[in-house]
Amino acid sequence: MDASYDLIVNSPGRINIIGEHTDYNNGFVLPTAIDKKIQFKFRKNNSDKNCLVKSVDFDTQFSFDLLEISKSETQWENYILGVVYEIQQLTSNLKGFDCVFKSEIPIGSGISSSAALECGLAFGLNELFDLKLTKLQIVELSQRAEHNYVGTKCGIMDQYASVMSKEGHVILLDCQSLEATYVPMNIAPYKLLLLNTNVSHNLASGEYNTRRQQCESGVAIIQKKYPAVQSLRDVSMEMLSEFKLDLSTVVFDRCSYVVQEKERTLNAVEALKNNDLKELGALMYQTHDGLQHLYEVSCKELDFLVDFSKKYEQVLGARVMGGGFGGCSINLIHETAVAQFTAEVSKAYFEEFEIKLTAFEAMPCEGTSIEK
Ligand code: ADP
Ligand code: MG
């Protein structure tokens, strides 16, 4: 550790086995942190209000005054400023600090570099200034930072997984109650292989918010007849089908996907507990199908990867992971097939799109923590 810094914090990216676009609909998700992280170094700088933050990856830094926090024109700075702003809504004990961070999480790839950034900063400042925030407060303030400063109306999954994960487990998170069940991830001799399309569609965050609005507009219409319905969590396919003529086709499809995904996630957890990996894989393929055709957040590169994987019986399931429109697919694959599949899919992908695929295995790891 650089002697001039007081504190080192590691904040991981995350995967999600299943339960996509369900968090902001009060459904279930099944994420875990992985062994790709942003590492932060912090120190107090003995000033009352001057702060300096540096991204090694972007090779740039900026300074700000704790008494004059406002949004920046530079988007990455808003992840930092948003967290500082939200901390200041909870405590007045922040003082001047310097922070430098370096990341190994691919950016905009559905592994949530954004939550790792927010949560690592919040976690480190909490430690450095002994702010006495709970882990759940760190999770929730980081989500608010992304809503209020960045403008992405994300659900709670990414921040929750980055902070709360436990090695060797996935988290079945009920996004309505925030009740978490840690499920052991015993899938040997299978592995989780991520394939990064290295495509990140810039539309993503705008489209993300549009999906959220479409779900809310569906709920608003259903509520007129069923006032108890607060979110798609409270809607079954049977109930939804009553509204087929009242909802636009697009809104009906969006809602159908979410209602089905809620069931699928619970079924996937049962399959995982029963070590029925064939069933788990089949559910992942179904999720991809829904994300491709009903929720429409896939793209041709991801569809290519998922279709290609279906030629291999050693791949039990695959799907787009994260917000979509690019980023990674997650594949449930037998360990003996990883090398050959990776080589063949990379070759085919390059021939089709002239883009290099990046492949890596992921395993469940501990959430945000201090480096000892
Ligand atoms: P994802 O969370 O899937 O990686 P997002 O679009 O939600 O994608 O977040 C990516 C954004 O987070 C980047 O565009 C940048 O603004 C910020 N970010 C992530 N990692 C870094 C980094 N190492 N340095 C600076 N900003 C970063
Ligand atoms: Mg993100």
Does 266 share its domain with 177?
no
pLDDT classification of 151: cutoffs 50, 70, 90: very high
Same domain for 135 and 194?
no
Q: Supply 216's token pair.
A: 């809310």
CB-ligand 1 contact for 10 (6 Å cutoff): no
* Token digits of residue 187: 């899938």
d(CA 141, CA 310): 41
- Whole-prediction pTM: 0.97
Catalytically annotated residue among 23, 98, 158, 253: 158
Q: Is 106 domain-assigned?
A: yes
Claim to verify: residue 266 and residue 172 sit in the same structural domain:
no
- Which CATH number does the domain housing residue 296 bear? 3.30.70.890
Query: Do 25 and 155 share a structural domain?
Result: yes
pLDDT in tens, 269-327: 999 999 999 999 999 999 999 999 999 999 999 999 999 999 999 999 999 999 899 99
DSSP-derived 3-state class of residue 274 = coil
* Dihedral angle sign, alpha carbons of residues 288, 293, 297, 301: positive
Mean pLDDT of 194-221: 90
Does the C-beta of 58 come closer than 6 Å to ligand 1?
yes
In a domain, 2, yes or no: no
Q: Assess whether 163 and 276 both reside in one domain.
A: no
Tell me the helix, strand and coil percentages in the chain, rounded to 5.
40, 25, 35
- Is residue 57 part of the annotated active site? The answer reads no
Whether residue 292 sits in one domain with residue 195: yes
- Of the chain, the percentage scoring pLDDT greater than 90 comes to 96
61: CATH: 3.30.230.10
Per-residue pLDDT at 175? 98
1 falls within a domain: no
Asked, for residue 157, whether it belongs to a domain, the answer is yes
pLDDT score recorded for residue 231: 98
Integer Cα distance of 27 and 269 in angstroms? 14
Same domain membership, residue 227 and residue 119: no
Neighbours of 186 (CB within 10 A): 12
In the reported structure, the alpha carbon of residue 219 is separated from the centroid of ligand 2 by a whole-number distance in angstroms of 25
Kindly state whether residues 349 and 307 are assigned to the same domain. yes
Looking at the structure of the chain, the number of domains it has is 2
Query: Whole domain around residue 76: which residue ranges?
Result: 7-185+366-370
Residues 355 and 224 in one domain: yes
d(CA 265, CA 110): 18
Residues with CB under 5 Å of ion ligand 2 are 112, 114
